[in-house]
Each structure stands twice: as structure tokens, then as C-alpha cells.
Structure 1
Amino acid sequence: MQDILNIILSKFDSLSDSNQQIAKIILRYPDEIPKYKITELANKSSVSISTVTKFCKFFNLEGFDELKYMIKYRSSTGNIEDKLLLTLSTTHLNIASKINSVVKLINKNSKIYIFAKSNSANIAFDFYYKISKIRPNVIFERDSLLIDDAVSKITNGVVILVSNSANSYICNVAEKLHSNRKVKIISVTNNTNSKLNNLSDITLCGIPFEIDSTIKQYLPFNSKYSLMYILDLFFYTYFQLDYNKNLDKLLQCRLKVNEFF
């Protein structure tokens, strides 16, 4: 069976504004849609029931029930490149409107803390490595004891929490910081339903489409690329704020390395 999500994404730019609202909800919560009533999708999309019905007709479906069927029984296997493209494209749709707000937030705060655990920490470190080249006062920790110690001393600044699953430890970190309104929390995750989202000032949430449910549980593949895409878009948008100045900083770093060797 064709993956209806790929079809919706491929036609996204040609959809009307109201149909794009419906498409965004479907692409954001594909595993939840088969449980919805048509009124729920209409309400979440801020459109009428008749608009949802017309949306289904646009994709040559009999109605909302067939749309739910197509989503529920879409192929869980298939071309890796297609799944990865779907992941990155849908993730972009989900975060694009928030990136500028995130960049402005870190631009006006002098200190940035980046905390992550396990596999997510490898991806977070790459972001830390790049952004620390062009601005000072960036702190990265991946060890629980060091994170706990840092959290106990934070009085202001921006904290970026990177966690694929938004695990309980990262949520606990967010809870400790949430009451201090001088600390702004940005979460980067692939869990659309985590309480971490409610504890964050801004959430950048990816939408990975894993090839297989077993891979999704034990060896997340597309999830990794979703987090990488979010943080890379985050970094390059920040870099563009003052491109020439930041480029000079990178060149100065390179010169210092060459002098050292």
C-alpha cells in the first residue's frame, strides 16, 4: 500500500492554507490520526468538518475513514531514502516557524547550556562544537553528575535540552529549571507528547518516520537525522545573523590551530 504521508507531503506546497493546516496535523501526529473522529481533526486544524472531507476528496479518498485506513496501514517498510526524505521534510514543516524565535532567544542571552544524554549527546556535542567556535559562554555536559551540578548553579541564560525520547531524566532537569523565569528552556526532541514540551519555552520537535517498529524502539535511525537537522538548521540560522563576523571568527580559530601546530 502506498504511503499516504509521502503523497500528502509531495503535494503540500500546492494545498490551500486550510488544507495545509490539516496536512500539518496529519504529518505531525500520524500514529494518532487513526484514533481521531473527524471532529477532532477539524478542531486541531482549526477548520470545518466539510473542509476535512474536501481534503480527503482532494487525495482521491472516499472520506475520512479511508484516510484513517490509509494512514494506519501504510507500508512500514520500503525505500530508506524516501523515509529519510519524509522525516526531514516533515520535521522542517514542524519547526520552521519557530527557528527565528529560538535564534533571537540565544542571541540576547550571554550564557548557553547544552545538556543531553546517551546517543542524543553525540548529536548535541556536534552542535556545541560548532556554536562554541563563534560565541563564548557555551557549556556542554552529558554526564548526569556534571549536569546536576551545573543545574544547581544556573541563575540565568538559555538551557538547550536535547533528547530523542524526552526521557525522564531530561524531564526532571527541565522541572528543576522551569520555576526560574530568568532561565529559558529550549527542548529538541522527537517526542511530540512528552511533558518536556510543557516545561519548555520553545520546543523544536522532529517527526521521524522509522522504517521498522523494532528499529524505532531499539536502534532509532531516522530519529537521529531528525535531531541533526533541527540543530543544524538552528546553527546555520544563527550563523546567518552576522555572517561576515562569524566567518571571521571561524578563520581566526583556524589560524590559531595552525599556529599551535
Structure 2
Amino acid sequence: MFTNEVIATFNDLEMLIYKYVMQHKEKVIYMRIRDLADEAHVSTSTIMRFCRKLNCEGFSEFKVKLKLAMDEKRDTPIKSGQHVVAEFLERTQNENFTSKLEDAADAISKANHVYFIGIGSSGTLAEYGARYFSSLGTFSTYLKDWYTPIHANLNNSITIALSVSGENQFTISHIHQLKDKNSKILSITNNGQSTIAKISDKNVSYYVSEEFFETSNITTQIPVIFILEELARRVYEKSRKSD
């Protein structure tokens, strides 16, 4: 129902509706339009525009489609991620995507130090990214404990923030702390319209279909690994040519 293409067209107010709906689906299907407007802090006309972007004539039709999508997801077995990965790899040949990678690699190559942050599975990949970059000559550090206060000035550094949803509050808090110490932020997220993407200096998004099993996000992380390794290789090539 919520395709990546449609989500990318949402403005800030529509993103508020989307986030509320995704967090309260079971409740939304029984709401009146005025109830949702109050809860999401938007107008009813904004909700109607939101519904039309989803090819719904009105809020009632939206609720029916949402209920059907929820029922279908409950009955859908976990599928192979092969087609998702294949679609992503095809998009990596897109000029816009390669341009973003090159721009990100250029920013990393100019930094004196590279930091990595992330929580959960993104934290695991952040640690992997730090090791991979360091293996190719770009000394990097994974900041595991976001509770630790940062007192040093981080001028001429860049922080690579990983988050599938781009909405993790721990990561957002960590980003604010790092930005306050003058570190540039490069985020790698699934959605370029997410909060983390918007507060970053640069963002690389991969747009694959999110998958959930019960309450767990099982979205494939292969695109993140590809982006990290490709960035590290591009940074290495830049340093080799400058020697």
C-alpha cells in the first residue's frame, strides 16, 4: 500500500500522518477523520490529500485498504529477498545513485576522522563499516555507547549514521550530540524523506521494501553492506590518486 515511490512524494505534514498510521494501524482503522487529524496534529484536508496520493477517494476507502493490507500481511509467508536485492543492484547503475555515492566518498576522503553510529542491526553494520574502512586505510571508529558525553571538538570529522527507518530516536539524539561538536553527518537510510536523512549534511538512500515479522524489522541489510563497501573503495581510490 505504501510504496517507496509514494512515500517519497509525502510532504512534512503527510509524513506526520504516515508515521502515526504506521505506529497505530490497529487503532486508525476504527477512527474518524477528525480523530486522526487531532492525533496527528494536521487538518482534515491534509488527510484527504494524503488519501488521494494513495489512490483512495476518501478516508473511508483508505481505512478499508489499510485493513486489507494488514490482513494480507498477517497471512503472507516470509519470502526470499532475492528480487528485492536484484532491484536494488539494478538501481545502483543509476546515474543519480552513483553521483550520490561519489559525493559522499568525496566528503569522507576530506575528513580527518570517520565515526560510525547505529543501533541494533544498524549498530552491527556500523561496527562492520568502521572495520572495513580501516582495512582500506581510512581509520574509523564505531561509537557504540551513545550515552557517553562527547567533550572534544570534532572539526574536520564526518559521522556515518546507519538507520533503516531513519526514525530511531537514539540515533537522532546521537546525531544531535555529534553535530553540536561540529562533526558532519552522512546518513545511510532506506528513506530519503526520514528525519535522520533530513537532519544530515548528506544522505544515501536505498529504497527497498520494508519487511516485518511480528514486531521485528527484517528488511534486508544487503544494500547497506554494498553502500559501505563501495564508499570505502571509492575513498581508497581517491587517497591513492592523491598520493
Same structural fold, with TM-score higher than 0.5 when normalized by the shorter chain: yes
Task: Report deviation, 1:140.
Answer: 1.1
Q: In the alignment, is the contact (CA less than 8 A) between 1:90 and 1:207 conserved in 2?
A: no
Q: Match for residue 225 of structure 2?
A: 228
After superposition, residues 190-229 of structure 1 pair within 5 angstroms as 190-210=190-210, 213-215=211-213, 218-222=216-220, 224-229=221-226
Q: Match for residue 5 of structure 2?
A: 29
Q: Match for residue 99 of structure 1?
A: 101
CA distance in 2, matches of 1:216, 1:229: 27
Task: Report deviation, 1:200.
Answer: 0.9
Task: Report deviation, 1:170.
Answer: 0.8
- Identify if the C-alpha distance between structure 1 residues 134 and 225 changes in structure 2 by more than 3 Å, giving closer, same or farther: closer
CA distance in 2, matches of 1:228, 1:117: 15
CA distance in 2, matches of 1:135, 1:117: 25
CA distance in 2, matches of 1:154, 1:133: 26
Task: Report deviation, 1:120.
Answer: 0.8
- Identify if the C-alpha distance between structure 1 residues 92 and 123 changes in structure 2 by more than 3 Å, giving closer, same or farther: farther
* TM-score computed with the length of structure 2 as normaliser: 0.60
CA RMSD in angstroms, aligned pairs only? 3.7
Greater share of helix: 1
- Identify if the C-alpha distance between structure 1 residues 235 and 86 changes in structure 2 by more than 3 Å, giving closer, same or farther: same
- Identify if the C-alpha distance between structure 1 residues 238 and 113 changes in structure 2 by more than 3 Å, giving closer, same or farther: same
Q: In the alignment, is the contact (CA less than 8 A) between 2:189 and 2:206 conserved in 1?
A: yes
After superposition, residues 52-91 of structure 1 pair within 5 angstroms as 80-90=81-91
CA distance in 1, matches of 2:109, 2:224: 21
1:145-197: CA deviations, max 9, x gaps?
3xx33x332421111111222201111122223355x4211111113332212
Q: Match for residue 158 of structure 2?
A: 158
1:84-123: CA deviations, max 9, x gaps?
2123334664632211111111211211111122111221
- Identify if the C-alpha distance between structure 1 residues 79 and 31 changes in structure 2 by more than 3 Å, giving closer, same or farther: farther
CA distance in 2, matches of 1:32, 1:117: 24
CA distance in 2, matches of 1:163, 1:125: 13
Q: Which amino acid aligns with 2:196?
A: L
* TM-score computed with the length of structure 1 as normaliser: 0.57
CA distance in 2, matches of 1:87, 1:221: 13
Q: Does 1:183 align with 2:183?
A: yes
CA distance in 1, matches of 2:80, 2:137: 40
CA distance in 1, matches of 2:92, 2:169: 23
**The residue matched to 1:104 in structure 2 has which SS?**
helix
Would you say how many aligned residue pairs link Structure 1 and Structure 2? 182
Q: Which amino acid aligns with 2:202?
A: I
CA distance in 2, matches of 1:208, 1:105: 25
- Identify if the C-alpha distance between structure 1 residues 155 and 82 changes in structure 2 by more than 3 Å, giving closer, same or farther: closer
1:9-32: CA deviations, max 9, x gaps?
xxxxxxxxxxxxxxxxx9852456
The unaligned stretches of length 5 or more in structure 1 are 1-25, 37-64, 247-261
